Structure 1
Amino acid sequence: MHKSKGNTIWFDDAVEKVGADPMRLIFCLQDPAQELRFGYNSLKEPANDIGILFNMSKLISNSKKVRIDYIEDKWILSRFNNLIKKATEEIENLHPHIYTRALKDFWLNDFSRGYIQLVRDRLASDDLASKYVLRELYVSLIQLSAPVIPFISEKIWLDLKEKGVVKEESVHLCNWPKYDSKKIDEKLEKDFTIAFKLIELGLFERDKEKIGLKWPLSKAVVYFKEELSDDIQEIIARQLNVKKVELKKITVGEENKIELDINMTPELEAEGYSREFARNVQALRKKAGLQKGQLIELKISCSSRMGAFLNKNIHFLLERTNSKKIEFVDVKSIKNGVAFSIKNEGIIVKFL
């Protein structure tokens, strides 16, 4: 890009088209010792990354401090305190690109794709600890982000203030976060790095067998060279949606791998159908504009086979669909219902 070649992008034009924060982010990520090839295509990724940070604000609510017992909560708190420590050191050493890379890596990988995925079921059940951890981390994360992406940080902050989550008038009037060395656990972070790699192997096996994550399996056999704590095995089991993890040690030179028991028992099949059914009803509730606390009466028309599957998990369905009553009826009893299918099993529902 050069003015003499006529392909210059003027700053004001770029800001008008994509906004200032994506441009600030891409420049802050850049090593000043290297050349930056700038263009509108290169701004798509930072704009998307900022969008992910902004969308996480929808999960944040005003929550009270509670005791932290879950291992995934302790892990993300360790990762975040390490981030504050690194960010502070790199800014003081005049390395803004290293600070910005660590910041973006945290909100994309550790926070969004890591922690929020780990606690999604806890959030769905209004777990107080996960809501508290989310709030504490997100507020401080926006404070860390403010020097790099000041405009979206301020927008997020004002939205949080409106919800009563924060009190300060502006994120730019806040003190810089301080890390707590007592919350940093290097071994725990290493254990989770291993867990995420094994989870990735397991998800690959699910994709290979074309078995969706909503469908539970009885067992995953993990071939690994070291012992895994019960907590880490539980994390792996939960993320792969298997009932148990069986660990088999391998020798040096052998590759880590995971084998899934894909035999589907009637109980597992019933649970899978129930989860898919709940997911469909939740989507219909959202489309209808219903809030989480609004209870419904749910009428279902389906085959006797599907009805038997759903009845086995009726309490789960009552909770997940926010229903005070679920009734199985003949198709003639449902007028203006909504139809969908799960593995070629036709279902019609209507809620009141």
Structure 2
Amino acid sequence: FKTLFGYATLLAEDGTPMHKSKGNMIVFDEAAERVGSDTMRWLFANHVPELNLNFPRIPTEEDMEKSARTGLPVRLSEKWMLVRRTLDKIWNVYSFFVSYANIDHFDPTQHQLPVAQRGELDRWILSELQIAIREVTEGLEHYDTVKPTATIQAFLDDLSNWYLRRSRERIWKPELDSDKVAAYLTLYECLTTLVTLLSPFMPFITEELYQNLVRNVNDKAPLSVHLCDWPQVNEELLDERLTNDTRLVMRIVGLGRSAREKAQIRVRQPLNALYVRVPSLAEEEALDRLSEQVLEELNIKRLELIGSDSDMLSYTLKPQVKILGPKYGPLVQKILAKFRALNAHGAQEAAKLLSEAGSLNFTVDGQQIELTADEVEVVATARPGFVTAEERGYIVALETTITPQLREEGLVRDLTHFVQDMRKKASFNIEDHIGLALYSNVELAQILQQYGEVLAAETLANNLLISIDQKDTPSFNEVYRETISPTSVKKLGGYTVEVVLGKM
């Protein structure tokens, strides 16, 4: 051989050596059979090879027998479930694509749409894909598996948690227009490229996905994923501006979710406004252009940008004594006193300087003091009726007042979510149209009547009955019935509603 790649010592889960006499030895074939060869390979690939690896325990013979007897999947340990998250995520993305592509009879070989003619969301994920190809290739060329696996997992998170979630409405709509074709083609290109990138790490699951995604629609394609050419970076698809813009939106959305969690307001409850401060003018312009994405993700009606001089926020500056003590010694107390003496305007100006310049400069007892953003914590507090979240100069203030109309919209969103869950329990296919009957009191029935079209469209209900009288029999055959009440697991703002689903 030209190059020998080896690992440090493989130990038992508790860090002790494996010995048959101790009863903690794991036979390779048994581990491969019980947790999966690809799962084991992914465990090794994610591990820094210079460090010893504590091999997680595997299911026992009793566990396997119980699984065979009950027909339930064998339960893996928490450590194995963490390893399997990547496999589960790629399988979920694959299943979503295949399910809807089959419903629409979509054949990727029969459609072409230049990337330049696709939307920003499509161009962004394809740009991220090129970055992933480059980083995985560079890592493998240097016999490094840790960086490539981290890159793949990060890309898969972007694909699943951002691209796919933001593309669902495009794929769910009934017509196969150019926008929907763009979403299908982009998702297909991401999946097939990802399968090839993953093939050295997970040869078995990637082969199964490749056969269905590629060979099933193109019999002239290579016989195996392991015979395919390695993906090459398409420099024309790299778009740094789009990457930066999307990262900005994702950051603000993340802060918005943190603010919702602080306020204990679920995302399905619409809110009126989000006020945002970003460090630079360029980011203000980008966020103004992309504000619709933030509003959709956070279920908010309006986004407003605020400057450092806005009265929306008040600021408190907290010098980090543990850092400043060794640096300034006896001057620390005088530095703290200077910060305590700041009025509201002075604190606001100091926070602005830290955000824009990255440091504060002043004099104490004739000595020049320079404090960086790492040495002073800036805490932004919103006025009553708002909740804030912040991160390195990025601040959001969420308006938490829920008006009667917002409350009604939240109820309808919750009910829609519950009906979708009931569709699954009733074993309806995702494309099936249903009959839906809702029995409630007068107050809730009047609310639901106003949103009848939305309810019907979101739940694929061709026949919708909203009534206060159980004697109003629906004109469809009942398949499933469930009651939502203040005492049930599902709750709808204190109301009781009986939900009936049926076949059309």
After TM superposition, the score normalised by the length of structure 2 is 0.64
> Cα 1:76–1:165, aligned 2, differ >3 Å: closer, same or farther?
farther
> Cα 1:253–1:242, aligned 2, differ >3 Å: closer, same or farther?
same
Counterpart residue identity of residue 167, structure 2: V
What CA distance in whole angstroms lies between the structure 2 residues aligned with 1:238 and 1:80?
Answer: 24
> Cα 1:74–1:308, aligned 2, differ >3 Å: closer, same or farther?
farther
Task: Determine which of 196, 200, 214 is the counterpart of 1:147.
Answer: 200
Which structure is higher in helix share?
Answer: 1
Task: Determine which of 31, 40, 59 is the counterpart of 2:48.
Answer: 31
Q: Please state if 1:348 is matched with 2:498.
A: yes
Task: Determine which of 218, 222, 227 is the counterpart of 2:272.
Answer: 218
What CA distance in whole angstroms lies between the structure 2 residues aligned with 1:163 and 1:322?
Answer: 31
Task: Determine which of 93, 104, 107 is the counterpart of 1:56.
Answer: 93
Deviation at 1:340, TM superposition (A): 1.7
What CA deviation, in whole Å up to 9, does each residue of 1:214-270 have, x standing for no partner?
A: 111111111221214234322211111111211113324354221112222333223
Q: Please state if 1:284 is matched with 2:422.
A: yes
Larger deviation: 61-70 or 81-90?
61-70
Q: Please state if 1:320 is matched with 2:458.
A: yes
Larger deviation: 40-49 or 219-228?
40-49
Q: Please state if 1:14 is matched with 2:31.
A: yes
What CA distance in whole angstroms lies between the structure 2 residues aligned with 1:166 and 1:81?
Answer: 26
* Structure 2 unaligned spans of 5+: 1-10, 12-16, 58-76, 175-179, 309-351, 356-392, 486-491
Structure 2 contact 130–238 (Cα < 8 Å) conserved: yes
Aligned residue pairs, count: 351
Structure 1 contact 270–312 (Cα < 8 Å) conserved: no
Structure 1 contact 157–166 (Cα < 8 Å) conserved: no
Larger deviation: 256-265 or 15-24?
256-265
Partner of 1:90: 139
Deviation at 1:170, TM superposition (A): 2.7
Counterpart residue identity of residue 249, structure 1: G
* Structure 1 unaligned spans of 5+: none
What CA distance in whole angstroms lies between the structure 2 residues aligned with 1:211 and 1:167?
Answer: 53
What CA distance in whole angstroms lies between the structure 2 residues aligned with 1:25 and 1:166?
Answer: 30
Task: Name the SS of the counterpart of 2:462 in structure 1.
Answer: strand
> Cα 1:292–1:23, aligned 2, differ >3 Å: closer, same or farther?
closer
What CA distance in whole angstroms lies between the structure 2 residues aligned with 1:165 and 1:292?
Answer: 27
Task: Name the SS of the counterpart of 1:219 in structure 2.
Answer: strand
For the aligned residue pairs, the C-alpha RMSD in angstroms reads 2.5
Whichever of the two has the greater Rg, that structure is 2
Within 5 A, what are the aligned runs for 1:123-272? 123-125=171-173, 127-160=180-213, 164=217, 168=221, 169-226=223-280, 227-229=284-286, 230-250=288-308, 251-253=352-354, 255-272=393-410
Within 5 A, what are the aligned runs for 1:66-81? 66=113, 68-81=117-130
After TM superposition, the score normalised by the length of structure 1 is 0.89
What CA deviation, in whole Å up to 9, does each residue of 1:287-306 have, x standing for no partner?
A: 22222333223222122222
What CA distance in whole angstroms lies between the structure 1 residues aligned with 2:122 and 2:210?
Answer: 23
Deviation at 1:148, TM superposition (A): 0.4
What CA distance in whole angstroms lies between the structure 2 residues aligned with 1:146 and 1:321?
Answer: 38
Q: Please state if 1:122 is matched with 2:175.
A: no
> Cα 1:3–1:318, aligned 2, differ >3 Å: closer, same or farther?
closer
Larger deviation: 210-219 or 109-118?
109-118
Deviation at 1:275, TM superposition (A): 1.6
Task: Name the SS of the counterpart of 2:200 in structure 1.
Answer: coil
Task: Name the SS of the counterpart of 1:331 in structure 2.
Answer: coil
% identical aligned pairs: 26
Deviation at 1:142, TM superposition (A): 0.9
Within 5 A, what are the aligned runs for 1:323-342? 323-329=461-467, 330-334=469-473, 337-341=481-485, 342=492
What CA deviation, in whole Å up to 9, does each residue of 1:117-176 have, x standing for no partner?
A: 333333333644323321221121111111101111122223435874887443223222
> Cα 1:286–1:80, aligned 2, differ >3 Å: closer, same or farther?
same
Task: Name the SS of the counterpart of 2:45 in structure 1.
Answer: helix
Q: Please state if 1:47 is matched with 2:84.
A: yes
> Cα 1:209–1:165, aligned 2, differ >3 Å: closer, same or farther?
farther
